[in-house]
Structure 1
Amino acid sequence: MFIFQATCLKKEWCGHTLFENIHIELKNGEHVAVYGQNGVGKTTLLRGLCGDTPFDHGSVTHMVPVSQWAFLHQEVHATATLQDYVATGDHERALIKQQLETLTQKLEDPDSFKRYEVLYDRFLQMNGYNLDTDVEKCLHTVGLPPDTWHTPVSHLSGGQKTRAQIARILLQQPPCVVMDEPTNHLDEETITWLATWIKQYDGAVLYVSHDRYFLDETAEAIYELTETSCTRYEGGYTAYKQQKDLERKTQAAEAKKQEQERQALLAAIRNYQQWFQSAHKQAGQNDFARAKAKKNVSRLHAKESALKRLDESRIRKPQQSERLHMHLQATSFAGRTLLQATDVSFSYGHKNLFTDVTFSVNRSDKIAVTGPNGAGKTTLLKCMIGTLTPVTGKVSMSPQTKIGYFSQELDDLSAKQTILDSFLTLPGTVEADIRTLLGCFLFSRDDVHKQVRALSMGEKCRVAFLKLYLRGANLLVLDEPTNFLDIDTREIIEDLLQGYDGALVVVSHDRYFLEKIATRVLHVEKGRVDMYDSNYNAYREKRAQPRLNTAAQLRANEREHLQFQLTTLISATTEALSAEQETEIEELKARLRTLEREDKR
């Protein structure tokens, strides 16, 4: 049984065709992802299939009414408390409960009393008094603790809002769930939980996601949406990439073979033209010879017809995806440490987020900040850049440190400005140079005149990254930079940051991204901030190991830090070691030997 079938869909936006000739369908129980570049219209397609946005052409046949579907949106605008918001997932029970509470104040009125009796009987038949219990079960399932249940949804973090929506879906138990970027703002633990839930869910799921691991774990098929097509590929992201690679190789081989045939036809046409001209010239007024020469003309015409047919069915050589053609430059920095946090603590009211945090950010560091939602990762970043002041401790920076903050760039975008105008307001900018840079960032000639409010979130992120580029910062502080970016752009940004010679501190839950980028990991959880002087994979392995006792853990942390210092010191020295450097290296080695002996006791 189908959930829906859609044919020949077309949608225009601000005079521009987002997509056309789109055919897509979803069967009961299928878990299918929609994949495509930013701005191609993935969210618009989902909204149209759900009936929220009309298509300009085509038809959608809903075998299961949209009223029975559930939706997970990128943004939630709700003023209700968390518990009340989740309860609306069971619309009828929540509505009757609300009506009963209202009628309780009017029981002296006979009509109100009769209405109350009817609704009360219906409420009992629906197990209405179990609604609160069912809501609490769903909230526990998604990991939202009781101290958040009476908090307005608008006050929750991005990850908590996503969990709230999932809890609401759990209560509703719909036959079809539509999700737009469900992993955005979620921590790794919740992403893993959501993937498990989707795999076990019996209903249909249609969703947009750019999380490569998540697609591999959850997608049974992927629809690739482009401006002119919507092609289905079986399997997850890895299978999709393999099929696309094979498709490109096959297309390239066919295009090469066809080009060889074309060149052979062109050569034959040139030869027949030369033969005809030569034979016609030699024939003179000899009718027999002239008739014989005309045979070459008919052969020439046959070859020209064959060339025309070949060109009409010509297979184009596959084009490489557009790439960002740039290198992220950092302002020169002569010292070693750009930022030092010493005994930093921060709290909101009586809630301590972290205490006595000490770490440094050194030149060329690529530090991933990890931890569950609400642990204080963004707060820690804001303490680092000076937006927030620690309750105790201090954050000091070198006079040469120049910070670029991604979240700030995104927040400062003016919705009414065009992309081009938003850059021309920056000091020292020239229009020709800005147009060139925008082209490098995949914005075509006409795109630069789009208003910021017409951009997708992924396109806005590209604009914010370009502004970072123009800042020339030597310390980039990035808060969830890959959220809303399509996979092609994520991979480009990964390459860009790997080649960045400044320091980087980044909050992200994108495992692919962190595996490529991170050289150190700062983990924030339950008031603690622990530095792991290792890449992301090694950090995950260490986190999975059994916990050591306090003394052993302190030795392990110190040993890891000393080894990192030793490696940094040795690798940074290109000339002969000074006496001071040799002494420092020997002291580090001696301390490592002492720790090794203590571990063996």
Structure 2
Amino acid sequence: MLIVKATDLRKEWDGLVLFENVSFEIAEGQRVAIFGRNGTGKTTLLKGLSGQTAFDHGSVHRHLPLEEWGWLEQHPEGVREQTVLNFVLSGSESRYALKLQLEELQRRMSREESAELLNRYGELHERYMQQGGYDWELQADKCLQRVKLDPGLWQQPFHCLSGGQKTRAQLARLMVREPKFIVLDEPTNHLDEETLSWLEQWLRQYAGTVLFVSHDRYFLDRTASAIYELTGQGGRMYPGGYSDYRKQKDIEWQSQEALYRKQEQAREKLMESIRRYQQWFHQAHQAAGQNDFLRSKAKKNVSRLKAKEAALERLERDRVRKPREEGSLRMQLKDRPFAAETLLRMEKVRFAYDGGRMIFQGLNANVNRGDRVAVIGPNGAGKTTLLRLMTGSLTPASGEVKHHPQTKIGYFAQELDQLNLDETILDSLLRLPEMTQSHARTILGCFLFSGDEVFKRIGDLSMGEKCRVAFLHLYFGGFNLLILDEPTNYLDIDTREKVEEALLEYQGALVLVSHDRYLLRNIANRLLILDGKEAKAFPGTYDEYVAKRRDAAYSAERRRQENEIGQLELKLAQLMAEPEPELEADRQQLMADIKRLRALLISLKQS
């Protein structure tokens, strides 16, 4: 069964074409990821499919009514003062409306006695019971617990939540509704590793259909059954996750390049034949004079010439374009030579925000030459705080953060608050010593800022563009220690991969906070793990850490299973030792209990 079908969609924005010639189908049970560069209109496409915005051309056929769609937005609107629990409940509109009416009647009944109010309350309560209202409220509580949203936040206004908490609340809202088709716009933004793993598992087990946008390559690999690549000129569906897509694109590139070379060789041969026949014709025509026989022979060369020219026209008409990459980031990060072993040392650091809980107490950590340290941990564990302590923008309550005199730190802040929002992109470079306008514009071109874009005010840029400006500052810094807080959060996948290449080639030390697991796997050679209480060093790669944790989780699960088997065996022995009941019903119940325990034990031992 088809869920939605899009045909020849086109959308313009401020007179510019975002995309055109977009056609695809989504079938029941698929998990389709829309993939493309920043600015190609992925969010606009999602909104158009759900009727929130209109396309300039084309049609959308929804084979499932919008009432059965679920939606996770980057920035939910109209819920600012709503409590988190009410936000989750309000996803089920009819039951939530009944709940609000019942609460209003309860308030009125507390102030006045009225048979009419009592009767009305009884009618609504009966309808609420028929719709499973109390089970639905219990389900909302369970879903909030499943997404690990602290019960202390449930009565807080939705707008007070962090980005990751808002995403979890939206996921809980979807889980309560259980729509047949869900649309997720950047669901992985701001989620910590534990919640990401949970979301991946939930989506793989989800019985409905999913359409989502994400730049998280690991997430795409683990959840997508197909990827629709969106470009300004159209799109194409690829089966599988990101790795499958990448392999197919590489094959397409190689095939197109081989076909292009073959056509170029054929074109050169035709051009050479045409030049040769033209030369023969002119020579034969001049030699023939008024001799009819020779003139007739010269005309044969004309026929051959015309045939070759027609073949060239056909080749030009069906010509394969030379494969080329779209404009991409070209970045090289230069480091400053550093001879000592340790760039930064933290000793017995204690830190707490004013009136807040203790973030660190007795923290010890080193950053040495050649280190590529990934700082990981759940949201709220203090990752950004740790980086700010390292840079010196925060001061510990006690303990020391020591920098070697030769250490020069480049800091990429998650909020990008180190940027001067009132400057233009070009001006931010021209204030550097000995920087000329021509050199600045050359460098800006490498960072995908060309033409009049260089005169844009930094405060007016998108988050992805601001990230590129922030990397510009690192480019010129000559730093030997880069401290990076979510450097790829707002970048499309192509740009993320270019940033990865630059970081891999960088010779200095790195300290990195990121939820991008592809980046962590490729960059980190050791980890610093925060759990909200302490920091633990792990002397290995991210993949080694995941494997060790998986083994530990398996061992813990195995121990739990063995304990459960032991308890069941004891219970079974106790039942079998009981005297035979006198009543037949009791005997049947005892045999049923024994049979059930035996079946459960066999299942546990075979798992």
TM over 0.5: yes
Residue 227 of structure 1 corresponds to 232
Post-superposition offset of 1:71: 1.5
Seen in structure 2, the aligned counterparts of structure 1 residues 541 and 323 have a Cα distance that, compared at 3 Å, is: same
Three-state SS of the structure 2 residue aligned to 1:410 is: coil
Q: Is the 8 A contact 1:409 1:464 kept in 2?
A: no
Give the direction of change, closer, same or farther, for the CA distance of 1:481–1:179 in structure 2 (3 Å limit): same
CA separation of 1:119 and 1:466: change in aligned 2, threshold 3 A: farther
Gap runs ≥5 in structure 2: 554-607
1:291-316 superposed Cα distances (whole Å, 9 cap, x missing partner)? 32122112212211211111011011
1:96 counterpart (98, 102, 122): 98
Q: The residue matched to 1:491 in structure 2 has which SS? A: helix
- 2:301 equivalent in structure 1: 296
Sort the Cα spacing of 1:398 and 1:137 in 2 relative to 1 into closer, same or farther, 3 A: same
d(CA) in 2 for partners of 1:339, 1:272? 76
Residues 422 and 204 of structure 1, relative CA distance in 2, 3 Å threshold:
farther
Residue in structure 1 matching 2:283, options 269, 275, 278:
278
Report the counterpart of residue 18 of structure 2 in structure 1. 18
2:492 equivalent in structure 1: 486
1:119-268 to 2 correspondence within 5 Å? 119-268=124-273
Of the candidates 355, 362, 380, which is equivalent to residue 356 of structure 1?
362
Deviations 1:1-27 (A, max 9, x none): 222211121122233221111112222
For 1:591, the equivalent position in structure 2 comes to: none
Shift of residue 522 of structure 1? Answer: 0.5
Q: Distance in 2 between matches of 1:223 and 1:15?
A: 25
Describe the SS at the equivalent of 2:316: helix
- 1:105 counterpart (99, 104, 107): 107
**Cα distance, 1:546–1:248 mapped onto 2, change above 3 Å:** closer
Provide the C-alpha distance between the structure 1 equivalents of 2:17 and 2:457, rounded to a whole number of angstroms: 16
Shift of 1:429: 4.7
**Separation (CA, whole Å) in 1 of partners of 2:139 and 2:536:** 37
Counterpart Cα distance in 2 of 1:416 and 1:392 = 37
Corresponding pairs, count? 547
Local SS of the residue matching 2:40: coil
Residue matched to 2:381: 375
Three-state SS of the structure 2 residue aligned to 1:359 is strand
Amino acid at match of 1:220: S
Q: Partners of 1:114 and 1:453 in 2: how far apart?
A: 59
Per-residue displacement from partner, 1:29-85 (whole Å, max 9, x unpaired)? Answer: 211011111221112211221222222222212222223311222245634333222
Q: CA 1:332–1:76 in structure 2 vs 1: closer, same or farther (change >3 Å)?
A: farther
Deviates more, 1:147-156 or 1:205-214: 147-156
Query: 1:259 and 1:425, CA in 2 relative to 1: closer, same or farther beyond 3 A?
Result: same
Change (3 A) 1:285 1:311: same
C-alpha deviation, 1:111, in angstroms: 6.5
| CA distance in 2 between partners of 1:205 and 1:539 (Å) | 31
Among 384, 388, 403, the residue aligned to 2:409: 403
What SS class does the counterpart of residue 191 from structure 2 fall into?
Answer: coil
Q: CA deviation at 1:342?
A: 1.1
CA distance in 1, matches of 2:399, 2:139: 45
Distance (Å, rounded) in 1 between the aligned partners of 2:319 and 2:366? 59
TM-score w.r.t. the length of structure 1 is: 0.85
* Aligned position for 2:573: none
Distance across 1 between alignment mates of 2:91 and 2:422:
36
Matches within 5 A, 1:293-372: 293-348=298-353, 349=355, 351-372=357-378
Bigger shift: residues 405-414 or 78-87: 405-414
* 2:95–2:128 CA contact under 8 A, matched in 1: yes
CA RMSD of the aligned region, Å? 2.5
1:554 aligned residue: none
3-state DSSP of counterpart to 2:449: coil
Distance 1:538 1:199, change over 3 A: closer
Kindly provide the amino acid, as one letter, of the partner of residue 29 in structure 1. G
2:280 counterpart SS class = helix
Structure with higher Rg: it is: 2
Q: Secondary structure at the match of 1:411?
A: coil
Q: 1:440 to 1:193 in 2, by over 3 A?
A: same
CA distance in 2, matches of 1:408, 1:140: 28
Q: CA offset at residue 198 of structure 1?
A: 0.9
| Deviation of the 1:418 alpha carbon | 5.5
Query: Are residue 40 (structure 1) and residue 40 (structure 2) matched?
Result: yes
Q: How much does 1:240 deviate?
A: 1.2
Stretch of structure 1 that moved more, 166-175 or 107-116: 107-116
Distance in 2 between the 1:2 and 1:14 partners?
A: 33
User: Deviation at 1:460?
Assistant: 3.1
Q: TM-score, normalised by structure 2?
A: 0.84
Inter-partner Cα distance in structure 2 for 1:116 and 1:401? 71
- Structure 1: how far apart are the matches of 2:137 and 2:523? 44
Distance 1:95 1:390 in 2: 50
- Residue of structure 2 equivalent to 1:502: 508
Structure 1 position 453, deviation (Å): 6.7
- Please say if 1:61 is aligned against 2:67: no
3-state secondary structure, aligned to 1:531: strand
Between the two proteins, what is the percent identity of the paired residues?
A: 53
Q: Which runs of 5+ in 1 are unaligned?
A: 548-601
1:117 is displaced (CA, Å) by: 4.1
After TM superposition, give the deviation of residue 233 of structure 1 in Å. Answer: 0.8
1:187-215: CA deviation from partner (whole Å, max 9, x where unpaired): 22222211111111111100111222221
Q: In the alignment, is the contact (CA less than 8 A) between 1:184 and 1:484 conserved in 2?
A: no
Cα distance change on mapping 1:161 and 1:219 into 2, 3 Å: same
Counterparts of 1:36 and 1:391 in 2: how far apart (Å)?
46
* Comparing 159-168 and 348-357, the one that deviates more: 348-357
TM-fit CA distance, 1:156: 3.0
